[in-house]
Amino acid sequence: MELTGAEIFVRCLQEENVDTLFGYPGGSVLHIYDALYRQDKVEHILVRHEQAAVHAAEGYAKSTNRPGVVLVTSGPGATNAVTGIADAYMDSVPLVVFSGQVPTSLIGNDAFQEVDTVGITRPCVKHNFLVKDVKDLATTIKKAFYVATTGRPGPVVVDIPKDITADKCEFQYPRSIKMRSYNPTVKGHPGQIRRAVDLILSARQPVIYSGGGVILSNASRSLTELTRLLNYPITNTLMGLGAYPSSDKQFIGMLGMHGTYEANMAMHHADVLIAIGARFDDRVTGNIEKFCPNARIVHVDVDPASISKNVKVDVPIVGQVDSVLKAMIKEIKAGERRPDPEPLENWWKQIDEWRSMDCLKYDRDSELIKPQYVLETLHRLTQGDAFVTSDVGQHQMWTAQFYGFDKPNRWINSGGLGTMGFGLPAAIGTQLAHRDETVVCVTGEASIQMCIQELSTALQYHLPIKVVALNNRYMGMVRQWQEFFYQGRYAMSYMDALPDFVQLAEAYGHVGMRIESPGDVEGALKEALDMKDRLVFMDFITDQSENVYPMIPAGAGQNEMILL
């Protein structure tokens, strides 16, 4: 039987087992919306702004490791989605974003709501397609899901002109797909794996530095097994938190600009660095010239272009983290050789000395609410088991430092692009994927206003998100840089004319709370967490002058941290 393009679209999503679609309608996608209306397998979530549709899909994807799916209309619908698409590109989030396009016959005519979506998104997608014939639609969608979810994941945009959604053809969904121009490597090269294992076992001052790739590769168990087998210290990037249990004694904290003293010092003094699914980002390396001066480096990454991009490595291994780690474990277990215990013991002693600096200390006796205290309490009350999304700024760093993540896929934030506005929509996508779990959005009073309209979406779909706003009446992260590097000239970093967030939450149909003293923090959090079926917006009035420590200033080496 012949189906319309719109019907084919819906069937394809069903074939891909898509249960949730984030979108916003408009002229060019009306046939598709009509086809969605006539089925009930794919649930469409109506956001209030297309940027939020993409962030919500990211939350869904990051918390499940399944692709997030988005549908927007042509023109402004597509351009509104661009920030989210760029965000997903930077953090390697598997997404398939469908955009409507003006009818084929009008393309290039400056038609109503026409933009060159394929052109605009090209630099921030893994790949994109313009469908020119309804006969290509199903195959293109199959390719889109395949490309988005394999290799190094990323966003794929499929632009569909309106006439294609009305045209008809036989529907057949391809069972599998092969593309001669796209063959991501899965398994690491056995010779390289042996070389890596040799180097790893010869280390005297090793550090395992793992990142988001471990989570994307579902490799948390293998990583934990390998780390325990070796008894080596491990540090995670911001994107890799939760891949190794942070409560474990071998975990030395996050590394990088706002990482722990012990993690950064260990990196600086390491003789062998084992980089796993991490991309040597400048927030991690600091000054490249001064980065890990003594280390020989093993790097496991599925994307060859990530390897030796910023830092030249000695043993590159291209492959999926999980399969490479399993091969390494097998190789080590098969042999007699184990790390030399004596230097390792000394290394641990040294690390414990760095640890004893207690670099994350803060004033616990303050009259004002310390943001760190809010997050520690949140961790305790949720037993570290909540899904936590965040926005961008100081509150993001404190969450990374103080909400010890023990499991992967629970920490959902925007690392590469650092997109303010990410937190709330990401929480929406996360909560939709995990209806019965606790989902918390940690945010700042500036970030939350970038996608605040999504409080309305949360109401519509009964999403009992707990918003923890750390309200310091500043763009704190900006203010901190101005304090440190611009002699306290706080240009435009003060948030004036703030709304009353309690009333605002209530106006959106939710519960609002304002918490102004440290003594009320725990009670408020408990009360909010107990409201299982309501979104609660907690406005914590925190210490305005608090800074994120430690900090590696831009251009400095990892051993040149500013401590409190």
Partner 1 sequence: MRHIISILMENESGALSRVAGLFSARGYNIESLTVAPTEDPTLSRLTLVTRGSDQVIEQITKQLNKLVDVVKLLDLTEHRHIEREMMLIKLKVQDADQRAEVMRMAEIFRGHIIDVSAATYVVELTGDSDKLDAFVESMSHFEVIEVVRSGVMGIARGDVALKL
Ligand X SMILES: Cc1ncc(C[n+]2csc(CCOP(=O)(O)OP(=O)(O)O)c2C)c(N)n1
The span from the CA of 327 to the CA of 222, in Å, is 10
Q: How far is the CB of 91 from ligand FAD (least distance, A)?
A: 5
Stretch that binds ligand X, among 87-95, 124-132, 476-484, 496-504 (CB under 6 A): 476-484
Binding mask 283-302 for ligand FAD (x = CB under 6 A): xx----------------xx
The span from the CA of 526 to the CA of 521, in Å, is 9
Contact 455, 535 (CB under 8 A): yes
Q: How far is the CB of 122 from ligand X (least distance, A)?
A: 21
Nearer to ligand X, 164 or 469 (CB): 469
312 makes contact, choosing from partner 1, ligand X, ligand FAD, none, with CB < 5 to 8 Å by partner type, with partner 1
Q: Per DSSP, which regions of 34-189 are E strands? A: 43-46, 68-72, 95-101, 127-130, 155-161, 168-170
Residue 280 designated active-site: no
Among 141, 257, 274, 442, binds ligand FAD (CB under 6 A): 257
Given 14, 113, 350, 453, the catalytic residue? 113
Binding mask 158-197 for partner 1 (x = CB under 8 A): ---------------------xxxx---------------
Nearer to Mg ion, 508 or 540 (CB): 540
Nearer to partner 1, 156 or 465 (CB): 156
Nearer to ligand FAD, 438 or 558 (CB): 558
Residue 162 designated active-site: yes
- Tokens 């933009």 -> residue: 115
75 makes contact, choosing from partner 1, ligand FAD, ligand X, none, with CB < 5 to 8 Å by partner type, with none
Alpha helices in 250-383 (DSSP H): 261-269, 282-285, 321-334, 341-355, 371-381
Considering the rule CB under 8 A, would residue 108 count as an interface residue with partner 1? no
Considering the rule CB under 6 A, would residue 278 count as an interface residue with ligand FAD? yes
The span from the CA of 121 to the CA of 127, in Å, is 9
Given 62, 126, 142, 162, the catalytic residue? 162
Given 2, 39, 41, 112, the catalytic residue? 112
Structure tokens at 261: 């003293």
Phi, psi of 104 (to 5 degrees): -45, -40
The span from the CA of 483 to the CA of 478, in Å, is 9
CA of residue 506 relative to chain centroid, distance = 29
Count interface residues toward partner 1 (CB under 8 A).
18
Residue type, 117: T
Considering the rule CB under 6 A, would residue 165 count as an interface residue with ligand X? no
Structure tokens at 345: 């013991």
The span from the CA of 471 to the CA of 501, in Å, is 10
The span from the CA of 208 to the CA of 240, in Å, is 12
Structure tokens at 488: 């306290």
* Packing angle of the helix pair 50-64, 76-90 (nearest 10 deg): 30
Of residues 336-395, which lie at the interface with partner 1 (CB under 8 A)?
Answer: none
Considering the rule CB under 6 A, would residue 80 count as an interface residue with ligand X? no
Among 161, 339, 404, 476, binds ligand X (CB under 6 A): 476
Nearer to partner 1, 180 or 532 (CB): 180
399 makes contact, choosing from ligand FAD, partner 1, ligand X, none, with CB < 5 to 8 Å by partner type, with none
Residue 50 designated active-site: yes
Respond yes or no on whether the N-terminal peptide bond of residue 67 is cis (omega within 30° of 0): no
Considering the rule CB under 8 A, would residue 135 count as an interface residue with partner 1? no
Strand order in the sheet with 466-471: 411-412, 387-390, 439-444, 466-471, 536-541, 511-515
b/e code 280-297 from CB counts within 10 Å (16+ = b): bbebbbbeeeebbeebbb
Considering the rule CB under 6 A, would residue 499 count as an interface residue with ligand X? no
Q: How far is the CB of 420 from ligand X (least distance, A)?
A: 4
* Residue 73 per-residue DSSP state: -
The span from the CA of 380 to the CA of 468, in Å, is 15
130 makes contact, choosing from ligand FAD, Mg ion, partner 1, none, with CB < 5 to 8 Å by partner type, with partner 1
- In terms of Cα–Cα distance, which of 354, 260, 206 is closest to 558? 260
- In terms of Cα–Cα distance, which of 275, 252, 272, 247 is closest to 262? 252
Residue 477 designated active-site: yes
The span from the CA of 186 to the CA of 278, in Å, is 16
Considering the rule CB under 6 A, would residue 444 count as an interface residue with ligand X? yes
Q: How far is the CB of 304 from partner 1 (least distance, A)?
A: 5
Nearer to Mg ion, 356 or 544 (CB): 544
Residues 6+ apart with CB under 8 A from 287: 555, 556, 557
Report the interface residues with ligand FAD, using CB under 6 A. Answer: 91-92, 152, 211-213, 216-217, 237-240, 254-259, 277-279, 281, 283-284, 301-303, 306, 320-321, 392, 396-397, 415-416, 418, 477
Report the interface residues with ligand X, using CB under 6 A. Answer: 391-395, 418-420, 444-447, 470, 472, 474-478
Report the interface residues with partner 1, using CB under 8 A. Answer: 118-119, 122-123, 126-127, 130, 147, 179-182, 303-305, 308-309, 312
